[in-house]
Amino acid sequence: MDLFHRCLKEQIPVEIIYLSEKGEWTKRIVLPRKLDGGAVLAFDLSKGGIRRFRMDRIFAALPAAKANKRKFPSLSA
C-alpha cells in the first residue's frame, strides 16, 4: 500500500501483476488516482481508462521505471 501512496503522490506509473475476476493473470501499467479502502482507482494505460483494482488481487507491484529493469515471472501457464 505504501508503494501506491508514494506513486500517487509523485505521479509515477506502477506495473502490476493482477488476477482478474475471471481468474486470468494480467500485467498492467497503471497510474494511481485514488486509494479507496481495499482498492486502487487508477488510469490503466493499456485499456485507456480508469479502472478499479482490488488490492487483494494484486500479486506484485513495482514503480514502472524499476519494473523495466526487473523481469516479472512469465504469465503463461
| Tens-place pLDDT, residues 33-76 | 999 889 999 999 988 999 999 999 999 999 987 655 555 455 55
Q: What is the pLDDT of residues 21-36, one digit of tens each?
A: 999 999 999 999 999 8
- b/e 25-64 (16+ beta carbons within 10 angstroms → b): eeebbbbbeeeeeebbebebeeeeeebebeeeebeebbeb
Q: What pLDDT was estimated at residue 65?
A: 74
CA atoms within 13 A on the CB side of 16: 30
Q: Are 50 and 40 a contacting pair, CB within 8 Å?
A: no
Domains and CATH numbers, the chain: 2-67 (2.30.30.100)
